[in-house]
Chains A and B, each alone.
Chain A
Amino acid sequence: MTASPPSAVPKTESTEDILDALLFSVSHDLRSPLLTLSLSAELIREAVDPPPAANRVDQAGNTAVALDALKEGAADLERMLSALTTVSRARRREQEIRTLPVRVLLGGHVVSSNVEHAEGLTVRVDATPVRELIDRLCGEDPAEIRLGRTATHVVLRIPSRADLPVLDGSPLIALARSLQLWAGTIVEDLASLQLQLARQAVPMELAEGAVYVWLPVSAGSSR
């Protein structure tokens, strides 16, 4: 049993909100592993050249702790910088926006809908991020995609094989608010795809374990 797609086109967060959240998390979240790296280096330095007894951190196991922390701090930094690179590429990726029938866009998947001739509708979209989104959520097997319709959009409900996290806002704002928490997770992938879709004025929303996408119906599409 699949839920019907919501009818209202969701409001998207403003660029100002996203930028504000991202600046905070970059300044906070990236500094955190940097602190780990510099403190670990100091622990190793002190193991080599111990300070006065009053300040001496117990040397037993100190170097091992510091080496583990160095490795984890560097991996953490790499994970967050990689998320920023992913989002940056999503902003710059070339798009090929075309008018195409929904049945072509969703070819290979099981489509269900109460809308008459839904698959015959044509939408104006770059198909690549839509298909990548379906692959990311459903894997390579055919997905059961539910179609809805508003006056201006075809609404896709794409179920997710994996549990989706409950987010306060869209994947993009969630990632922008906390690189530490979401970098390297499905939220990073969804944020990147959301950004590519947003550039085409295609809203996307997570709800009830699925992702909803609003595709603009092209002028002259059959009704």
Chain B
Amino acid sequence: MNQGAVPVVIVDDEVDHAIIIRRVLAAIAPYAAVDVMTDPHAVEDRLIQAPPRALLLMDRMLAGRQSIDLIPGLLRARPDLSIALLSAALSDEDRKRALAAGAVAAAEKPGTLDGWRMLLRELLGLHRARSVA
């Protein structure tokens, strides 16, 4: 399995969530090169500068606004990115909207560390499969 540095960008204005996700990622994927973005302002402009073929773990609410709406524009500018939308609460309709907008996955944030390990492994696997396709 190719375990070269996988660029991952965590985009979450819940700073505690971002820190915890980064720590779990460091444990399960020490090969990942992780950036953290907790300032939600002008996030689209900054994400366009994300590393090539990065996996974006993006919170669904950024500064009180739905980030689902950012996905199509971001992917038009950077089709190489993989975007996974994460949310404290996500309805089936929102999941469908996120996938229709181009997200590779949309999931509720797990309430346990094991849940995060499972979800992050799954997302890294999806990203890897997409990168080699």
Contacts and interface: CB of A to CB of B under 8 A. Distances in A.
Contacts of B117: 55
A46 interface: yes
Interface in B1-33: 14-17, 19-20, 23-24, 26-28
B interface secondary structure, majority = helix
B63 A181 contact: yes
Contacts of A178: 61, 64
Interface residues of A, number: 30
Nearest to A62: B23
A57 B17 contact: no
Given A35-B109, A181-B64, A69 B23 contact: no
Given A27-B89, A46-B113, A57-B113, A39 B20 contact: yes
B20 A69 contact: yes
A interface secondary structure, majority = helix
Interface of A: 27-29, 31-32, 34-36, 38-40, 42-43, 46, 54-58, 62, 65, 68-69, 72-73, 177-178, 180-182
Interface of B: 14-17, 19-20, 23-24, 26-28, 61, 63-64, 87-89, 109, 111-114, 116-117
